[in-house]
A and B are shown apart, each in its own frame.
Chain A
């Protein structure tokens, strides 16, 4: 009840935060109900119509398609796809950060008890499984922003996407969503997007594309070097050349030496894959490849945190735990299930495992993270 009331009040008070997607009438909408399933294939002519549903139904999560359809309310086969925004999801869980273990909690699916570390079965009830919940720290946010900036750099410099077409959003939980609204890219199918994913994630780079070929009849060495006609001055080729220290002057003999040092063609190839991975951006590939996805809508609340998916006008100074926290300050009683330290809306909390009074935004954050219970 606490969550529903707080979510309703948010949609009532912060209706202006809700962003009207471009061509709203061509989008498919969907929402999750508290304690129930997903409702999809909805369409709204304007944001007012949607807002009325949000206040009436109070969904836990609200989604809008990245795709544009001729008939958004029809079945998937009959919608008639027109195009889709190019979207990227950067999530802290995919970064495998060293700090993760220091702010991970494990919640039992059966009894709801919280443990500091992972066990096969819940030590409290001996039956439930433990699932991880994260309270991201500053280091997570720093690493996420670095990843976002790296992605934006590739999108602009390599793919030629204009800055004004790139919109960065805090996802409302542990990551960032990047939306590209571009007339050229919106028509790309899933195959083409999958190729973009490979490019961004550094997948399938070939030694041949940077001039190292497998020798057809190996003699002393099992490779030969011939730099590509199109050169190495841009994109991945430039990044690899720079990393190998051959970007200033392309020298066959220098490359020859490098490949030999790496143990010939195969050794160089695996080293190259490693290098590409290190220089890649860690995105969720499935999100970008999916041209029919309903994606969290900007300006709506995320039920995994009670924070809002918001546009980051200044990524550098953006602080999700302040800038995306819009729920009310009114104090409520909750039962905190584990000792926790956190900072929200600029206020620090050092909590013990006990019943306590907290501002609603903090109480809801912990309830959404399954680290507290409403009383």
Chain B
């Protein structure tokens, strides 16, 4: 049987693979080479990628030759490391993961050569994350994942569709389509990028990169110095506090937690603009989309139905409840505020 290797096109899409680092090592590439004029294209491209992801909140979709992609990947992580702001790193990691997710989904959907498909599954799922994914022998559009591998990831997703009961389960395997299979490892991909940046040690930067870092810092730091945007989280129900804390750290909140947060803030009388600012630290923040969604929940758009705050029971089922003893007797997070205020008031008397 012929041995199939990853093509250069694959390495371009997945520049975090071992094959990409092998390329850098084999070509004996030196960081100082980035000061050469022909490298300007790479550095500008890396900056464009960071801006697209971090400032615009969208996936960088352009795909070039593998030599370009590998070096762009390298410069990108050097710049993000040098900017040294956690929420920028998280946002970059998430969008890089989503970029990989997009390419990988397409590859798994379109690749006709089964051996090639298996190789990709092995390289990304197997080698990087120790997840064994197989192709369903009866339908090659479907993939089989061990129930335990599925549960270790999907049980932390909050959407009901990911609950095991809503999946096709048989003989120790969960059957998923390409999108779903790739979605399973989004957070691991994001952590992989995040850790690559975190663990990187930087010596002196080439001047050309240094200049780009300063330029980007000037643009992004005023938006992302989230320390100035920290929200007082003391008076809210523990579930809301928890969500705000995650948001303040720049972590990616699930959709259901965002609905909880927005409806809660609406219920306690915050303005639409105040609520939109709350979501500013979300790694995938997009003002237009956030505004539309908050207005939708407020009943200003769409069906004109004002959404109420999810009940404690619903939040429990979505793993969003972080009840303390002060939650005793309440059925909705909104009631917590009321009880808590009353209790404080009584104490103060």
Contacts and interface: CB of A to CB of B under 8 A. Distances in A.
Interface residues of A, number: 35
A187 B148 contact: yes
A194 B164 CA distance: 10
Interface string B147-185: 110011011100011011111111111011100000000
B146 interface: yes
B332 interface: no
A228 B174 CA distance: 14
Nearest to B173: A160
A206 B161 contact: yes
Given A161-B172, A236-B165, A229 B142 contact: yes
Interface string B174-201: 0111000000000000000000000000
A314 interface: no
A235 B168 contact: yes
B164 A195 contact: yes
A184 B148 contact: yes
B105 to A, nearest CB: 14
Given A160-B173, A191-B319, A195-B155, A230 B142 contact: yes
Contact of A235 (B152, B170, B177, B319): B170
Contacts of B160: 204, 206
Contacts of A192: 148, 151-152, 155
A187 B147 CA distance: 12
Contacts of B168: 228, 230-235, 237
Interface residues of B, number: 29
Contacts of A229: 141-142, 177
A240 B236 CA distance: 42
Contacts, number: 94
Contact of A198 (B139, B141, B156, B163): B163
B142 to A, nearest CB: 6
A151 to B, nearest CB: 15
Most buried by A among B156, B160, B165, B169: B165
Interface in A45-66: none
Contacts of A198: 163-165
Nearest to B175: A230
Contact of A195 (B139, B163, B175): B163
25 contacts: A157-B170, A159-B147, A160-B170, A160-B172, A187-B152, A189-B152, A189-B155, A191-B319, A192-B148, A195-B151, A195-B154, A196-B164, A203-B163, A204-B160, A204-B166, A208-B161, A228-B168, A230-B167, A230-B168, A232-B168, A234-B168, A235-B168, A235-B169, A236-B169, A237-B168
Give 7 closest A-B pairs by Cβ, nearest first.
A160-B172, A234-B170, A209-B166, A192-B151, A235-B169, A230-B168, A191-B155
Interface of A: 157-161, 184-185, 187-189, 191-192, 194-196, 198-199, 202-206, 208-209, 228-237, 276
